[in-house]
Structure 1
Amino acid sequence: MKTTFRLLVSMFVCVSFGFSGIITGISVIVNDEPITLYEVYKYSKKFKITRKESLDVLIRQKLEESQIKQFHIDADIFEVDKYIESIANRNNISKYEFFNMLKKENVKIDDYKKQIKQQIKRDKLYQSIYKDKLKGVEDSEIKEFYDKNPTDFMQANSFNLTIYTSQNDKDLQAIQKNPMLQLESVKIEKRFLTEETLNNQLKTLLNATEQGKFTQIVTIQNRSTMFYIEEKKDFKKVSYENAKNSIYRAISKQKESKVIKDYFEKLRASATIKVLRSPS
């Protein structure tokens, strides 16, 4: 009996160590920088993408990090604070209120600041890549885009909405996952909003959200708020003059993305990448 028990224990230990080795083993080495299988699995689970897609993203991140080091790109605390303030301002809240929102979501402020610092460094890298390679946007390109995509410039001016408000983002996130959920902490109100009662920011948010979908959660008068779009009405086409700036930004963004994509494809092709274990 004791022999059988020892055999079972030994088998369990071997399987445990074997599984641990698979999960923590190195998947790929990019220019002497390792990516573990665990990192791939974790990223795949977090962002709900395939392991191959996760590996491609992580390889890209390693290449970005190597470029940031090579070009001595950094970001100081003042840049981080300014970036965070701009996020808070876009949501019409103070930096203090924004930090409180993060705490409610169990996000550590120091960890968040590290992420922002990395984002700023990445933005600086991208700017250095495309600043000399990016061609300007011609007026003819803007006009052509406007003429070829007429439906993109049809905007609703009236909305049948269900408005959800709460002190806690998590309550609204729970309703997004299960619309039938009823929580005492969430106030629900049916409203019909017209052009006269909408500011530009809210109108943009509602138009950017599909009918039959929830908007993203925003802060209005210190309360977490989201809208469910029941119906959009009173459609009008945005004039060319009013659409020019947004088209310019969209085309510029497309060109920037292409320059960055081409750059990192060439960089990856010339990098030393060793595949030790392909995640399955």
Structure 2
Amino acid sequence: MYKILLALLLATMLNAAIYDGVAIVVEDKAITLLDIEKAMQETKQDAKQVSEMLIRKKLEEIEIKKRHISVSNSEVYEDIKKMAQRNHLSVGEFYDAVRESNGLSSSELKEKIKQKLLSQKLYSTIAMSSVSEPSDDEIAEFYKFHKDELTHPSSFDVTIYTANDKAILDTKVHNPMFYTPQISSHDETLDYNSISPELASLLAKTKIDHFTPVIPNGKGGFISFYLKSMTLAKEEDLQKIKPQIINIIMGQKREQVISNYFARLRDNADVNIIRMPK
């Protein structure tokens, strides 16, 4: 009798411990307090914002499973290969750069890419029959009100600093007068269309006479760009950038369709909020 009572007591204690760690249950999927706290640290958002993000993620996982959506290892590798090529790196160099900048192992990166591709396939399935190409009037109106957003620099005049030691290069970035032979530099003009989209975006966001953040150079070292000046491109002709505008408008429509879909799903889902981090 005592053994039975003891077993029941232990089972109750164990179940309570597990339950105590659960913050939200979406259908039959649990979100823990640790999940929320970790996401708060990573995103710098509050508990409510993070909780809604994690609920959305669980709803996506449920939809992916229900629709039997899958991603193969070859699809993951092809996506990684394309990202490496855009950054003018081999796949091995790209793995090294990601590890140095984000601390992700190759297996962790592959898992993140897999989840990204699964979500993309889900979004495409949801939006496929609901998004149509914009009319000429929609394109003309978008062009009229977004000309500044459609203009990008044509080139960047930079001084490129490289070093094997990130800490030394960080010192240079925060103290431009700092000198050491361990840092090499040279001036270069970078054409917008000849560099990776990621680097072009980074430079376009950098103020004149300022350094970019220190980033891995894909060769085991680190690099930072000092932006001396940039040349702005002339206003683009509507017909020339029409495909770009179509992609932007369709992207916006697609996002709205997906957002509305998951808002309805959220309203109808069995979501039980048990507790939130203090």
With the shorter chain as reference, the TM-score category is 0.7 to 0.9
CA distance in structure 2 between the aligned counterparts of 1:101 and 1:158, rounded to whole angstroms: 25
Name stretches of at least 5 consecutive residues in structure 2 with no aligned partner. 1-16
Counterpart position of 1:251: 249
Match of 2:58 in 1: 62
In structure 2, distance between residues paired with 1:173 and 1:45:
26
Alignment of 1:1-280 (within 5 A): 25-105=21-101, 106-157=103-154, 159-167=156-164, 170=166, 174=170, 179-180=174-175, 184=180, 185-189=182-186, 191=187, 193=189, 198=191, 200-202=193-195, 205=200, 208-212=204-208, 215=212, 217=215, 219=217, 224-233=222-231, 236-280=234-278
Is the 8 Å Cα contact of residues 163 and 169 (structure 2) preserved in structure 1?
Answer: no
SS state of the match for residue 149, structure 2?
A: helix
SS at match of 1:164: strand
Question: Normalising by the residue count of structure 2, what TM-score does the alignment of the two structures yield?
Answer: 0.77
Instruction: Provide the C-alpha distance between the structure 2 equivalents of 1:142 and 1:221, rounded to a whole number of angstroms.
Output: 43
Assess if the C-alpha contact under 8 Å between 1:161 and 1:231 holds in 2.
yes
Instruction: Determine if contact 1:23/1:37 at 8 Å carries over to the other structure.
Output: no
Deviates most, 228-237 or 266-275: 228-237
SS of structure 2 residue aligned to 1:135: coil
8 Å Cα contact 1:142-1:247 kept in structure 2: yes
Deviations 1:43-64 (A, max 9, x none): 0001211121111110010000
- Give the CA deviation at 1:243: 2.1
- Taking the aligned partners of 1:42 and 1:155, their CA distance within structure 2 comes to 36
Superposed CA offset, 1:23-52 (max 9, x none): 962211111211111111110001211121
Distance in 2, Cα, partners of 1:219 & 1:63 = 38
Q: Indicate how the Cα distance of structure 1 residues 248 and 31 shifts in structure 2: closer, same or farther if over 3 A, else same.
A: same
Once structures 1 and 2 are overlaid, which stretch shifts more, 149-158 or 217-226? 217-226
Q: Deviations over 1:198-218 (max 9, x none)?
A: 251339616732434655747
- Report the TM-score, using the length of structure 1 for normalisation: 0.77
Check whether the contact 1:160–1:232 (CA below 8 A) recurs between aligned residues.
Answer: yes
Of the structure 1 ranges 138-147 and 30-39, higher mean CA displacement relative to structure 2 is found in: 138-147
Q: Is the Cα contact below 8 Å between 1:43 and 1:54 reproduced in 2? A: yes
In 1: Cα distance, 2:68 partner to 2:99 partner? 32
- Summarize the Cα distance change of 1:202–1:109 in structure 2 as closer, same or farther, 3 Å threshold: closer
Q: 1:82 to 1:233 in 2, by over 3 A?
A: closer
Deviation of the 1:126 alpha carbon: 0.7
User: How many pairs were matched up?
Assistant: 254
**2:10 corresponds to:** none
- Give, as a single letter, the amino acid of the residue that structure 2 aligns with 1:78: S
Tell me, in whole angstroms, the C-alpha distance in 1 between the residues paired with 2:19 and 2:169.
31
SS of residue in 2 equivalent to 1:237? coil
Change (3 A) 1:234 1:86: closer
Task: Name the SS for the 1:34 alignment partner.
Answer: strand
For the residue of structure 2 that corresponds to 1:141, the secondary structure is helix
More deviation, 258-267/130-139: 130-139
The CA deviation at 1:268 is 0.2
Cα offset for 1:110? Answer: 1.3
